[in-house]
C-alpha cells in the first residue's frame, strides 16, 4: 500500500533510512518491521516443513519416480 506519513521527526527518519540501507531494506520494509515489533505482531515465517503431505490416490504412488525417470533420460 502506498501512503504518506506526515510529521515524522527528521532525525528518526534519517536513522531509519540509514539502518534500512545498511540492511538492504527499503524504508517501507524497515517501517513495517519496526511497527510490527512495536505492535507485538508476529509474522510466522513460512517453512517447507509447514506443508502437509496430501494423498492423491494409489495410482499416483510412484509418480515422482516416473517423472524423475522421464527427466533423466
8-57 residue pLDDT tens: 999 999 999 999 999 999 999 999 999 998 998 876 777 888 888 888 88
In a domain, 53, yes or no: no
State the cell numbers at 29: 520494509
| Structural domain count of the chain | 1
pLDDT of res. 51: 82
Classify each residue of 3-18 as buried b or exposed e, where b means 16 or more C-beta atoms within 10 Å of its C-beta: eeeeeeeeeeeeebee
The three cell numbers of residue 40 are 507485538
Indicate whether 61 pLDDT > 90. no
What are φ and ψ of residue 27, in 5° steps? -60, -40
Would residue 51 count as lying in a domain?
A: no
Q: Is residue 33 part of a domain?
A: yes
Q: Is residue 10 within 8 Å of residue 18, measured between CB atoms?
A: no
| Structural domain span for residue 16 | 9-43
Average pLDDT of span 57-68 = 87
Residue 73 is assigned to a structural domain of this protein = no
Q: Cell 490416490 belongs to which residue?
A: 57
**Residue 37 placed within a domain:** yes
Give this prediction's pTM: 0.54
| Residue 14 domain-assigned (yes or no) | yes
Is there a domain that residue 34 lies in?
Answer: yes
Amino acid at each position: 500500500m502506498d501512503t504518506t506519513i506526515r510529521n515524522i521527526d527528521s532525525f528518526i527518519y534519517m536513522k531509519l533510512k540509514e539502518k534500512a540501507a545498511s540492511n538492504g531494506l527499503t524504508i517501507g520494509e524497515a517501517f513495517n518491521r519496526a511497527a510490527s515489533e512495536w505492535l507485538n505482531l508476529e509474522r510466522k515465517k513460512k517453512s517447507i516443513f509447514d506443508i502437509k503431505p496430501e494423498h492423491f490416490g494409489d495410482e499416483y504412488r510412484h509418480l515422482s519416480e516416473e517423472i524423475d525417470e522421464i527427466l533423466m533420460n
